[in-house]
Structure 1
Amino acid sequence: MAAQVVLVAGLTHHDVADELWRASPESVLVRHDLSGLADGVVRRWVDGRLTVLELAHGCVSCTLRLDLIPLLEGLDGRVIVHLDPVLEPEAVCFALSETEVDVEAVITVVDSATWLSDATGGDTLADRGMRAAEGDERTVAQVVVGQAEFADALVLTGDDPVLNAVLDRLTPLAPRQRLDDLDVTALLAAVPDNARRGGFDDGFGSLLYGQPPLEPAHGVSVVHFTERRPFHPMRLHNALDVLLEDVVRTRGRVWVASQPDQALWLESAGGGLRVGNLGPWLAAMDDWAEADAERRAAADLQWDPYYGDRSQELFVITRSDPGEIVAALRAALVTDEELALVSELDFADPFADWHEEMEI
């Protein structure tokens, strides 16, 4: 029988994994400490027994590939994995997707006193002395937002109406409990059938995962920006600052005039931004066989006779003025005059080279 894994994530110290272990007498508890990863050292506990591992390459991917994944593949029954604070559960689930191991649920612990400031700040993990390895340039915001967004259930250390309003929009399906009144068995039972449970899409799925509320609450607003004309690449690049000030999360597909066949993925959290290449739009593909049925059906519903499925769609959770975000993004679109000459113009393109992290 393959292992049924419960991942427990969170930047703050907590005993949720231990509580879950005690509530599941037949389970196995795995805990990792990556604080020595830069020196190639990983500490791992299995049911309290410590093993010190020395890796030739001190990186997160090596830790997953050479230690955690083989360990989980050799176990069965319920396994509770208490992730190191700087690990994002999505990366772990991506690695597990190539195995027979099933993800039962992802539980993330949210520090109610610090999460909002972390999620909208610009500190890097290196600034806090927490980076996983040399070259780890992630921000604290990218970690805490990613941990919460990917969760099937949340444990909060306190009660804050603004934080609750953000989480309603960031991860609307996830049930929540307070840490001081935690019943881990009831929390897991409350995870809905349509929860993510380690699953992820290819970037062309719905951005409004779980149908979050779109109306403002407690100063938290949602911008759902859609347009059917391309961005001017340099004006978009200059407009991105508006997504880095009091913005918890931006996720979306972007179409730039300089690369009409490629869909870009844009993602921000606090002061951290990622831009990547999702691959071609269906309109640029001769063969749709590799595109899943859901993507093809969605494209058919909004197909434009000229542009096909090319479009802008961004989902922004913000504590700033949503009108300012919409205005900045709309001003970055090509004008009618530029659109008429788009095939003849030579655009300066800051998005020409793909980087997971982009300096702006």
Structure 2
Amino acid sequence: MLRNREGKRVAVIVNDMSEVNIDADLVRNGDAALSHTEEKMVEMSNGCICCTLRKDLLVEVGKLAREGRFDHLLIESTGVSEPMPVAETFTFTDDQGRSLGDIASIDTMVTVVDAFNFLRDFSSHESLDDRGEALGDDDERSIVDLLGDQIDFADVILLNKTDLISSDELHTVHGMIRALNPQARIVETVNSAVPLAEVMGTGRFDLKKAAQHPGWLDSLVEHTPETEEYGISNFVYERRIPFHPQRFHEVLQLEWPGVIRSKGVFWLATRLKLAGYWSQAGGMARYECAGHFWSVVPRDHWPADTTHIDRVWREPNGDCRQEIVLIGTNLDRPALTAMLDAALLTPEELATPEHLWPKRFPDPFPKWKMAVAAW
């Protein structure tokens, strides 16, 4: 971007987790020699933009803005940072009530995808710690978690190293990325060479939309014409019958053919008041407790805006349900639906008294840690 800046004056902030900022050195000493009169680089090392460096970022952006010499500010965060918290940094207020949003606005969130390594990394079971990239001892994220977050939140995705893979591989990678983020503009690149107009001054970032970043995937709301070309489809598995915990646990161990991403709420017969949360991307998956279903929460503890509750409310069990989004390529919807249906309670099992279900139905899921309810 610096080498092809097309006459634009660009200030650059490079954030790196290491004490020696290798990325900044590469930019400084490489082809993109920095002119002190046209652009400026600020190094922010040994920290993460979204946490320890928030105040420093506010100070540095303030300095650059007051100089009034720059058309754009490019912030390159560390490669293991999540983009949503970086965007949230612009709403952070310091002790004097100042925020980055007062002096600058986000124009475009750009993610660069390594096309050559994407298929391998997306099927990986490795954690960031396995690769020595964890932010600390408490960072338990997987490679796939990070890939998904960085792709999902992008306005523009540079699909780089396209010269190193075959046309069939490129077709597959393009389709998977489109499935993960149907709204972003995908630009295929070699050596990340891209016209500035694709990544600067696009106006693609929408703060209001970002603030409502979904628990559900955008592909449920709007398709792009490319979905047919790449064989991408999605559907929502919805049922109002609890899962038999043993059979559902077994389903989670199976391969879900064609599924790239799945995410949603599930309901176990042995934990009728609690909503389970399922999330899978590539070769990684996890389940946990999402909290109580609203149907068991007293009305005076409901939020003022009940739109999201009303959307899923059905008598007689309120919001207790199975609602799992499945997204993938060439999905066999009948087969996947049948696989999940087989884990539901049978009519005979439903006919037995509910109070016997916890003893009658084996439950291999770990015990969910729940705070004591305030009601």
TM-score (norm. length: structure 2): 0.70
Distance 1:307 1:79, change over 3 A: farther
User: What secondary structure is seen at the aligned counterpart in 1 of 2:234?
Assistant: strand
Tell me what 1:358 maps to.
none
How far, CA to CA, are the matches of 2:6 and 2:52 in structure 1? 28
Q: Tell me by how many angstroms 1:44 deviates.
A: 9.5
Residue 269, structure 1, aligned to residue 281, structure 2 = yes
- Any unmatched runs of 5+ in structure 1? 1-15, 356-360
Q: Tell me by how many angstroms 1:51 deviates.
A: 5.3
How far, CA to CA, are the matches of 2:252 and 2:110 in structure 1? 31
Q: Tell me by how many angstroms 1:109 deviates.
A: 0.8
Q: Tell me by how many angstroms 1:192 deviates.
A: 4.8
Task: Indicate the structure whose relative CO is greater, using CA pairs within 8 Å and at least 6 residues apart.
Answer: 1
Match of 1:137 among 137, 140, 148: 140
Q: Tell me by how many angstroms 1:236 deviates.
A: 2.1
Tell me what 2:300 maps to.
287
User: What secondary structure is seen at the aligned counterpart in 2 of 1:161?
Assistant: helix
How far, CA to CA, are the matches of 2:178 and 2:110 in structure 1? 16
How far, CA to CA, are the matches of 1:23 and 1:226 in structure 2? 54
Match of 1:83 among 59, 63, 77: 77
Q: Give 1:168-317 correspondences, 5 Å limit.
A: 168-180=178-190, 182-190=194-202, 192=204, 198-201=210-213, 203=215, 208=219, 210-212=221-223, 218=230, 220-242=232-254, 247-285=259-297, 286-287=299-300, 289-290=302-303, 292-299=305-312, 303-317=313-327
How far, CA to CA, are the matches of 1:123 and 1:312 in structure 2? 29
Amino acid at match of 2:311: A
How far, CA to CA, are the matches of 1:120 and 1:239 in structure 2? 19
How many residues are aligned here? 322
Tell me what 1:48 maps to.
41
Residues 121-162 of structure 1: per-residue CA shift (max 9 Å, x gap): 323334434333335333222211221111111111127222
Contact 2:258 2:331 in 1 (8 A): no
Q: Tell me by how many angstroms 1:194 deviates.
A: 6.0
Contact 1:221 1:322 in 2 (8 A): no
Distance 1:326 1:259, change over 3 A: same
Distance 1:186 1:334, change over 3 A: same
In our comparison, the structure showing a higher alpha carbon Rg is 2
Q: Tell me by how many angstroms 1:42 deviates.
A: 8.3
Q: Tell me by how many angstroms 1:242 deviates.
A: 3.3
Match of 2:354 among 342, 345, 348: 342
Q: Tell me by how many angstroms 1:187 deviates.
A: 4.0
Tell me what 1:34 maps to.
17
- Any unmatched runs of 5+ in structure 2? 25-38, 66-71, 94-98, 371-375
Q: Which moved more, 1:325-334 or 1:290-299?
A: 290-299
Distance 1:116 1:331, change over 3 A: same
How much identity, in percent, do the aligned residues show?
22
Tell me what 2:172 maps to.
162
Q: Tell me by how many angstroms 1:193 deviates.
A: 7.2
Q: Tell me by how many angstroms 1:312 deviates.
A: 1.6
Tell me what 2:32 maps to.
none
User: What secondary structure is seen at the aligned counterpart in 2 of 1:48?
Assistant: strand
Q: Tell me by how many angstroms 1:32 deviates.
A: 1.9
Contact 1:253 1:313 in 2 (8 A): yes
